[in-house]
Homo-oligomer: A and B are copies of this chain.
Amino acid sequence: MKRKVAILGATGTVGQRFVQLLANHPFFEITLLAASEASAGKKYADIVHWHLPCEIPEKVKNMEIVSVDSNFDCDYVFSALPSDVAGPVEKRLVERGYTVFSNAASHRMDEDVPLLVPEVNLEHMKLVELQKTPGRLITNPNCSTIGLVMALKPIADLFGIEFVSVVTMQAVSGAGYPGVASLDIIDNVIPYIKNEEDKMCTEPKKILGKFTERGIEFAGFEIVAQCNRVPVQDGHMISAYIETSERVDIDRLIQAIENFAPLKGYKLPTAPEKPLMYLPAKDAPQPRLHRDLGNGMTVSVGRLVKVSDRALRFVALVHNTIRGAAGCAVLNAEVYEALYRTGA
């Protein structure tokens, strides 16, 4: 029997991905779509500006949107709410006993909230056991952060990380809808994305930090980030320069990337066979060609170069609305199910 799930913010860019990913999910059944008060009472197909290159799943087309403050008949709630409203709404939901998987930034840095990318910091899930609310709250990081920490994980494990300088080239879908005006981005690059650099400089330290009984001990390295918007539909590119604690060995790193499969034993439907893929071509990865690898859940890495004894650089690509948002939240829910609910 499938768990009943609700999607908050179901009409937005990330909300549509939740709908797509959950419409035929083996564990979960969409029973409820919630959006702003203005949309409540209307049919999903009538108000969504659907912009995915597939049809709206039949089963949600005629679902009636409810307000985010309704009583939900469901087990899990997926939140794609904008950060400015997500905070209190999600708080109320966990107080009322719901388990919430949120893509919003509001509670990511809360002490007892996992900021989870399961392949990277699965043990952080234990933070939920510190939560005092009837329901639980699990968050996933910012889209670019997810791509970065996935690529950093094997480097941290092998060589230790001392310093990270990162420049992103981010797709327009990351800004939601209507998001970036076409007048601003055709034939152009915008070297600024609101709040993005802050998130990239703080979130990875929590994610790559160490779980202890008293909470997460943040990682000690510094991050410098400069974020750009480019005229690309989907797929954030990350160009990174990394200083390490120990000698860099590129061959070992490639091998570690190829063998990277921390969730192998769990048989989770959204976990890709290869969470990381190393692309040896000299001009890879590229958003248009590689963003959909592993159904959008694989982070691809290329242009690995040893810069000096203790420094390297690389390019990574993450599908920002799948692995970098809705897909990661769904994977978090699958992991939660596996750890806390199976056999329940």
A interface residue numbers (CB < 8 A to B): 13, 51-55, 165, 167, 169, 172-173, 177-192, 222, 224, 226, 228, 230-233, 237, 239, 241, 282-293, 302-303, 307-308, 311, 313, 315
Contact = CB atoms under 8 A, between A and B. Distances in A.
Oligomeric state, in copies = 4
A53 to B, nearest CB: 5
Contacts of A282: 192
22 contacts: A52-B289, A165-B165, A169-B230, A172-B186, A178-B178, A179-B181, A179-B182, A182-B185, A185-B186, A186-B186, A187-B233, A188-B287, A188-B289, A190-B286, A191-B239, A191-B303, A192-B283, A224-B241, A226-B239, A226-B303, A230-B231, A241-B241
Contacts of A226: 167, 239, 241, 303, 313, 315
A interface, over-half SS = mixed
Nearest to A234: B187
B315 A188 contact: no
User: Which 10 A-B pairs have CB atoms at the shortest separation, nearest pair first?
Assistant: A178-B181, A167-B167, A192-B283, A188-B288, A187-B187, A172-B182, A191-B315, A180-B182, A182-B182, A167-B239
Given A51-B183, A180-B181, A183-B172, A286 B188 contact: yes
A52 B289 CA distance: 6
B177 A183 contact: yes
A89 to B, nearest CB: 25
A51 B190 CA distance: 12
B224 A307 contact: yes
Given A231-B230, A239-B167, A239-B226, A187 B315 contact: no
B186 A233 contact: yes
A51 B184 contact: yes
A53 B182 contact: no
A178 B185 CA distance: 11
A274 to B, nearest CB: 11
Nearest to A50: B289
Contacts of A230: 169, 189, 230-231
Contacts of A224: 241, 307, 311, 313
Contact of A13 (B183, B189, B307, B308): B183
Contact of A232 (B184, B189, B302): B189
Given A177-B181, A178-B183, A180-B183, 11 more contacts: A13-B183, A53-B289, A180-B182, A186-B231, A187-B288, A188-B286, A190-B286, A191-B239, A226-B315, A230-B230, A230-B231
A169 B313 CA distance: 16
A288 B228 contact: no
A169 B232 contact: no
Contacts of A189: 169, 230, 232, 237, 286-287
A162 to B, nearest CB: 13
Contact of A231 (B167, B187, B313): B187
A189 B226 CA distance: 17
A172 B224 CA distance: 28
